[in-house]
Amino acid sequence: MNVTLRKCFTTAAFAITTMAASAAMATPFVITDTVITPGAGYGQDASENNNPTLLGALFKVTNATQAFSLMNAGDYFEFTFGTVNFNEPNSNGGITANEMDKLGVTTTFTFSQPGVGAQMVTATGTAVLGAVNDPNNGANQTDLTIDWATLSPINFGIGGSFKIDLTDLVFTANGTKNAVARVTLLTAEEAPANDVPEPGSLALAGLGLVAAGIARRRQR
C-alpha cells in the first residue's frame, strides 16, 4: 500500500472512530445531598419503666455526596451512605407493644446529575415483641427488620433510566450496621440531536473513503 492510500484510509478511520467515541458516552451521576428521615416511632424513651413508646434506633448519614459514571445497561455503583445503630434496652421486657408502630424510614438522595432532583426511597420497619437477643429464642431471633422498596424506574434525558436499591437490614441483637445503596443503569440515554455527528465529520469520513478508492484505481 503506497503512502497516499495509507493516508486516505487513516483519515477515514480517524473520522469514524471519533464519531463512534462520541456516541458511546458514560452517564455521570452526582449526588449532592443525602437525608435519612426515620419514623416517629424511633428514639430513646426517658424511662423504659414508664410506658415506653419509642424503639431505640439512631440513623446517621456518614457520606452525603457521591460522584460516579455508568456506561452500559446493567452497570451499577454501590456505596455506603450511613449507619443504623439499634440500641433497645432489655428492661421492662425489651420491645413492647407500644414500640412497634411508626417504624417506616425514608432516605432522600438529591441528584444534580443526571438532573432528576430529589429521589425518595422508603422502607417498612418491623419490630418483634419481646426481649432483645433473647437466649431462649436463639441467637438469630430477629428484633428489627428494615425492608427497603426498590425505586424504579427513574427516568432522565431522552430514554435514560436507572433504579436505586438499598440493602435490607436485619438486627438480631443491639448493634450498628451500614446503610448501603446501589444505583443501577437500566437504559442509557439516547444521544440528543446536537450530538449526532456533524456534517463536517461525515464529510471527512466520506472524503477519506472516496480518496482511497481513487488512489486504488490509479494504482491499477
Domains of the chain: which residue ranges?
1-24+191-220, 26-189
At 220 the pLDDT is: 54
The Cα–Cα gap between 66 and 111 comes to 9
At 116 the pLDDT is: 98
Which residue did the predictor score with more confidence, 16 or 55? Answer: 55
For residue range 180-215, list pLDDT tens digits in order.
Answer: 999 999 999 987 666 555 555 544 445 454 444 545
Helix (H) or strand (E) holding 200: helix 199-219
The Cα–Cα gap between 123 and 216 comes to 68
50: confidence class by pLDDT, cuts 50, 70, 90: confident
CB 30 within 8 A of CB 113: yes
Read off the pLDDT of each residue in 54-78 and give the average, rounded to a whole number: 98
For residue range 122-173, list pLDDT tens digits in order.
Answer: 999 999 999 997 665 555 689 999 999 999 999 999 999 999 999 999 999 9
Prediction pTM value: 0.77
The Cα–Cα gap between 171 and 101 comes to 17
Q: Return the percentage of the chain with pLDDT > 70, whole number.
A: 73
